[in-house]
Structure 1
Amino acid sequence: MSTSYYGFSGNEDLGGGLSAQFKLEGFFRGDTGEQGRFTGDAQFARTTSVGLSHKNLGTVSLGRTTTQLFVSTLLFNAFGDSFGYSPSIRHYFSSGAGSVTGDTGWNDSVAYSSPNLGGFRFGTTIATKESTTGTGNGGNWSVGMSYSGSGPFAASLVHQNVKKDAAGATPDTTTSQLGASYDFGVAKAFLQYGQIKNTTLSTSTKITGAGVRVPVGAGAVVAQYSAMNPSASADRKTLSLGYLHTLSRRTELYAVAMSDKLDGLSSGGGYSLGMRHRF
């Protein structure tokens, strides 16, 4: 359901509302004990940063930071950050040439996030240029705004531009995404719409998603659908349905199934039964 990771973090009060912070977070594969999401992944590939935070001015972080696009994508779909079963995460970040380039975290970045301003938050991230060829390639940037007040409505708008590849091996992409959710009490609905433009290949992809989370007893039924419409390849439609059963504040059981259809090919899919523990 989720990529396993561990982390260390710290916070020191410097007085006057200012504090120093750090994070070291790494993925691991529990079946083999290996570091990273895949062979060759960095030890602390999730977040590796230091920063300063002020209660009235916001937070500045330096290092490897999670992108605003990834955070927006996981917040506004019913399956959250599940790379295995969230159709939204799969389409934006792991569906080949039509997906976003530049990973879910950026190295050598400076990120700013504002304090809560009446439910509104603003953030921006810049990743420094890197060039070994003298061509000046590289340099990512993104901006985002979100609203999450005391009521049932929440929304976000994010735009990012990826060019951070000195060797030119990774295509340049620009991505815009609008996400929204509304909690009706008996159910919480999620909507997403985004467009990815691959400026290197001169292609574009539209991604539309909708989902729902319905509380049932000690758990919830979750469903998410996403349609991926690339300009230069086959359309893709993915539907996931599952039940999450809460055992405690940190532990839940899950049962989930997915149908994945690429036009021109027979349908694929998968299912899982398991337990997720957060500590």
Structure 2
Amino acid sequence: MKQTQFLILGGMLLSGACGSAAAQSDVTMYGIIDVGVTHIDNLPGGSKTYMRPGSKDGSRLGFLGSEDLGGGLKAIFKLEAGFNPDDGTAGQAGSLFNRAAYLGLSDRKLGTLTLGRQYSSYFDAINPLGPVPVVTGAAGDHPGDIDGFDITIRSNNAIKYTSPTWHGITASAMVATGEQAGHNGSGGEHSASIKYEGGGWRHALAYQMLKNGPSQTGWDSTASTSFSKSAVNAGYLSAADVQYIAAASRYGQDNWTLGGSFSNVQYHANAASLFRDTAIFNTGAVLASWKTQSPWVLGAGFSYTRASRANGISDNANYRQFSLQQAYWLSSRTSIYILEATQRARGKTLGTDGVSVIDAGATIGVSQSGNVASDAHQTLLGIGLRHAF
């Protein structure tokens, strides 16, 4: 859907508000505080034990609001700031509401239109069926969050439309712009998704395209969208754009769920890129969770990521990762959790210069991307406390 179509829809929603009296408004403050201790081995300087914020759920403070405009139309907003409880710093330097900051209109018949900093349609559909709810991002993300299933991709200057749910089916589309003078089309994003929920089943199919800005030596910091950077994709950050296609399914009953996903991510090169051939990463994953009769909730996940043969590499990189989570719920809002993960990397990949061929290094999930193993193996153990309010 083109941006002009979003604006037309916005006009329709605004016209529906004309003449309607405000009936009721509501604002909710909410948040999560999550902090723990993590031990990770096989680093160049040896093992490391440190206090880590947000191992299970990223710590945040948010405000969610709506006003009833009458006739089924509502004005809505969301402001959400991430922070690090271990030292009190912002989750992203220089940004207050770094997780979300948007305003919109929601109509029960026409759907919802939002404008501002927000997650893409791709993320909204895929993330709930990925590893984060079952084995968490700290230990369970697909290596380097290569397919964007975690919360590392957020878009500025975004306009998103989400349809009403019809027979369990919901569709969504979003566009975001780089807003750089003289570089129309640079640094933007567009995405679309469709999902279904019913009879214990949840399915999602989604697409996303991120465009680099004019400064392509690494991913341009002025692009509207940033994404996870790790040893997995370090040689391909000068891409002209990155394309994501993903499908996921999950089936669940009252106390257990089973699910799986597949993703295809392509880093496309142009004349300004440091590498020359399209780099492709395919990831398959399975997940399971079980809520026992006691307060324990258990989760397990396995993922396999494989890069394509390109850029002079014949022994292409691949990553196998197995993750576990055990959460003991003291109440509906407070839990103690334990995380375990192990990864083995094999093959070759490109170094940060986009030219040198190097051994693939293990790097668990995405939150450990700064702790690349000294060789092909890495193991993580963590314990933490999480409280929501």
Does 228-237 or 84-93 show the bigger shift?
84-93
Could you state the TM-score of these two structures normalised by the residue count of structure 2? Answer: 0.65
Across the two proteins, how many residue pairs are aligned to each other? 270
CA distance in 2, matches of 1:190, 1:12: 37
Work out which of the residue numbers 173, 178, 182 in structure 2 matches 1:124. 173
Question: Higher relative contact order by CA 8 Å / sep ≥ 6: 1 or 2?
Answer: 2
Q: Is the 8 A contact 2:131 2:141 kept in 1?
A: no
Does 51-60 or 134-143 show the bigger shift?
134-143
Q: Would you say 1:260 and 2:313 are equivalent positions?
A: no
* 1:230-259 deviation per Cα after TM superposition (whole angstroms, max 9, x unaligned): 125521111111211222221112111010
Describe the SS at the equivalent of 1:221: strand
Work out which of the residue numbers 69, 73, 77 in structure 1 matches 2:122. 69
CA distance in 1, matches of 2:291, 2:152: 33
Q: Is the 8 A contact 1:140 1:164 kept in 2?
A: no
Corresponding residue number in structure 2 for 1:189? 258
Corresponding residue number in structure 2 for 1:248? 331
Instruction: State the Cα distance separating 1:117 from its structure 2 match.
Output: 0.9
Corresponding residue number in structure 2 for 1:12? 67
Instruction: State the Cα distance separating 1:277 from its structure 2 match.
Output: 1.2
Q: Would you say 1:270 and 2:380 are equivalent positions?
A: yes
Corresponding residue number in structure 1 for 2:233? none
Unmatched tracts of structure 1, length 5 or more: 94-98
CA distance in 1, matches of 2:332, 2:97: 26
Instruction: State the Cα distance separating 1:206 from its structure 2 match.
Output: 0.2
AA in 2 matched with 1:109: A
Corresponding residue number in structure 2 for 1:165? 213
Instruction: State the Cα distance separating 1:133 from its structure 2 match.
Output: 4.6
Q: Residues 41-80 of structure 1 correspond to what in structure 2 (within 5 A)?
A: 42-80=95-133
Corresponding residue number in structure 2 for 1:237? 320
Corresponding residue number in structure 2 for 1:33? 88
Could you state the TM-score of these two structures normalised by the residue count of structure 1? Answer: 0.89
Q: Would you say 1:207 and 2:262 are equivalent positions?
A: no
Q: 1:11 to 1:213 in 2, by over 3 A?
A: same
AA in 1 matched with 2:284: T
Instruction: State the Cα distance separating 1:70 from its structure 2 match.
Output: 2.8
Q: Is the 8 A contact 1:79 1:224 kept in 2?
A: no
CA distance in 2, matches of 1:57, 1:111: 13
CA distance in 2, matches of 1:51, 1:62: 6
Corresponding residue number in structure 1 for 2:305? 228
Q: Is the 8 A contact 1:136 1:166 kept in 2?
A: no
Describe the SS at the equivalent of 1:71: helix
* 1:168-206 deviation per Cα after TM superposition (whole angstroms, max 9, x unaligned): 342311100000001155531010000001012511100
Work out which of the residue numbers 195, 199, 208 in structure 2 matches 1:146. 195
Task: Calculate percent identity across the aligned residue pairs.
Answer: 26
CA distance in 2, matches of 1:25, 1:124: 22
Q: 1:156 to 1:89 in 2, by over 3 A?
A: farther
CA distance in 1, matches of 2:195, 2:185: 32
Describe the SS at the equivalent of 1:26: strand
CA distance in 1, matches of 2:287, 2:73: 39
Instruction: State the Cα distance separating 1:36 from its structure 2 match.
Output: 1.6
Structure 1 or 2, whichever has the larger Rg, is 2
Q: Is the 8 A contact 2:142 2:305 kept in 1?
A: no
* 1:78-123 deviation per Cα after TM superposition (whole angstroms, max 9, x unaligned): 5428331223374336xxxxx79x9511100001111111111000
CA distance in 2, matches of 1:41, 1:248: 35
Q: Is the 8 A contact 2:126 2:247 kept in 1?
A: no
Q: 1:51 to 1:89 in 2, by over 3 A?
A: farther
Q: Would you say 1:178 and 2:247 are equivalent positions?
A: yes
CA distance in 2, matches of 1:179, 1:66: 18
* 1:125-177 deviation per Cα after TM superposition (whole angstroms, max 9, x unaligned): 1002433454642321000000012x111100000111152433423111000
More strand by share: 1
AA in 1 matched with 2:210: V
